Amino acid sequence: SVADALGDKALAYIQYAPSPDVNQAYAWFKESLENTKAEASPNVMHFFLDMSLQKLKADPSHKEQFIKDYLLDTQYTDEAIASTDKEALKTALKSVREGLDAQFINSGAATCESLQEIYAPKVEANQANLEALKEVIKVMALMGCKDSDAYLQASLYAYKLDPSADAAVGCAAMAFKKGDIDGSVKFFDEAINLETDNAKKADNAYKAASVLASAKKLSQARSYAQKAISFNENFGAPYILIAQLYAGNYKWNDEPALNKCTFFAAIDKLQRAKAVDPSVAEEANKLISSYSAYTPEAKDLFMLGYKAGDRITIGGWIGETTTIR
């Protein structure tokens, strides 16, 4: 195709021209990639970002475009890897993909600080431009910059224009950052209601539980953790959070030995966590080992009329029955 030929032309140009013009090469690679997409050759995919990086080194104002180029290039590369059955081509594409990541990481454009610098003014200038705000949210979320002010502010403006689950989560994070616990939980509720994916609903409920736990709102925190489990029964993190709530607030009786029985209830949650979600097994086992050291001595319980195997109800806000070990 014409686009393929243009890619070949660009490759020949940077290889054989005595003093190739980076801007010209970049323009040709860009046009070729945008038209061939996932069918572009691995060399075009590689050198397109390479030329974009050269432009960035010469002109710092190219940083935002460089980020867009990286995202576009990796999208097509990933699509190409997924679609080909040719092992040699797949290997070449995977090598290119690793190279793209290395170029991006080493460019200096990959930090949350640099993204904040780029997008903060853009967010304020586009408060009523939903598409521009969504782009900021997408890029910053992809780069793990959800704590950045630009991401949070973009989420707030986007939510006002078009309430969505993702925007509501950003608003919840902003409220929490400002110390507004109730406001944060309210936005997480909105996110749960707007979300259709149960795994994401569970994650949002768990985040709300974590926010409430940080404010020592114990019963509410447990309630949201339980809500997370209701959306995703194989989600171990909420069980771990409940266990930590119990262990951190274990006193409910005048008898020290009975208070220590709360750790049995905490261990129950940790056992359940690793049973339903093997990915949290390591963390759960560490906590089980830690909490086991705080369980009551058999002789102390015997004096109170309890022995191993007996059931006991933990009082106070916990109100849960567990088995004495």
Cα(264)–Cα(288) distance, integer angstroms:
10
Asked if residue 142 has pLDDT above 90, the reply is no
Confidence (pLDDT) at 39 = 96
Helical H segments across 195-324, by residue range: 198-214, 218-231, 237-248, 256-260, 262-276, 281-292, 298-302
Cα(214)–Cα(175) distance, integer angstroms:
14
Provide the pairing of β-strand 320-323 with 311-314: antiparallel
Question: What are the beta bridge partners of residue 38?
Answer: none
Cα(162)–Cα(174) distance, integer angstroms:
17
Does the global pTM surpass 0.75? no
156: helix, strand or coil? helix
Q: What is the DSSP letter of 61?
A: G
Q: How confident is the model at residue 221 (pLDDT cuts 50, 70, 90)?
A: very high
Q: How many helices (H) does the chain have, and how many strands (E)?
A: 17, 2
- Judge whether 48 and 69 are in contact, CB under 8 Å: yes
At which residue do the structure tokens 């996932």 appear?
Answer: 38
pLDDT tens for each residue of 179-195: 999 999 999 999 999 99
Question: What are the beta bridge partners of residue 321?
Answer: 313
What is the residue type of 89? L
Cα(208)–Cα(187) distance, integer angstroms:
9
Q: How confident is the model at residue 24 (pLDDT cuts 50, 70, 90)?
A: very high
Residues in contact with 305: Cβ distance below 8 Å, sequence separation at least 6, in sequence order: none
Cα dihedral 87/89/90/94 (nearest 10) = 140
Q: How confident is the model at residue 144 (pLDDT cuts 50, 70, 90)?
A: confident
- Judge whether 21 and 3 are in contact, CB under 8 Å: no
Cα(36)–Cα(11) distance, integer angstroms:
15
CA atoms within 13 A on the CB side of 294: 22
Of the listed ranges 6-10, 108-112, 269-273, the least confidently predicted one is 108-112
Asked if residue 105 has pLDDT above 90, the reply is no
Q: How confident is the model at residue 22 (pLDDT cuts 50, 70, 90)?
A: very high
Nearest of 194, 109, 211, 108 to residue 159 by alpha carbon: 194
Cα(287)–Cα(291) distance, integer angstroms:
6
Cα(142)–Cα(134) distance, integer angstroms:
12
At which residue do the structure tokens 């069980």 appear?
Answer: 239
